[in-house]
Amino acid sequence: MSKRIVYTDRAPKPIGPYSQGVKVGPWLFVSGQIPIDPATGEVIKDFREAVKRVLENIKAIVEAAGGSLENVVKVTVYLRDVSKFGEFNEIYSQYFPKDPPARVVVEVSNLPKDVDLEIEAIAYIPSEERG
């Protein structure tokens, strides 16, 4: 088994003892991403912009591992306010317009840095030797 740590400057630096992503064989496990702008380190408060930022962070990590959002097979979403579910889905569907991944959405009481959402993902990225 080979384990490769995935890191990109296009996503926020880890703020604790974890990796942005870990690739084991064809599987990529993306750590929970919160709406932090990797360029500034600032937390994005506007909900719609926060959703976009989190999905862009996930996209950057998946791309750094050699894949695309089409490779994402499972997503777990943590929302502080499930009443924003419809608004979330509006933006989310733009990132996964066709054959979206399996997903669970959970309402939680709090998240790191007092943000409104966190998303983790699992992607299946076949061999990096593309022919």
| Domain ranges across the chain | 3-124
Task: Tell the CATH topology of 3-124.
Answer: 60s Ribosomal Protein L30; Chain: A; (3.30.1330)
Computed on alpha carbons and rounded to an integer, the radius of gyration of the chain in Å comes to 14
Looking at per-residue pLDDT, the higher value among 127 and 67 belongs to 67
pLDDT at 128: 56
Question: How far, in Å, CA of 123 to CA of 21, rounded?
Answer: 10
Question: How far, in Å, CA of 10 to CA of 13, rounded?
Answer: 9
Token pair recorded at residue 54: 């989190």
pLDDT at 15: 84
Token pair recorded at residue 19: 């990796």
Are 112 and 71 in contact by the 8 Å Cβ rule? The answer is no
Res. 129: pLDDT tops 60: no
Question: How far, in Å, CA of 80 to CA of 118, rounded?
Answer: 9
pLDDT at 25: 95
Determine how many CB atoms are found less than 10 A away from the CB of residue 1: 4
Question: How far, in Å, CA of 20 to CA of 33, rounded?
Answer: 8
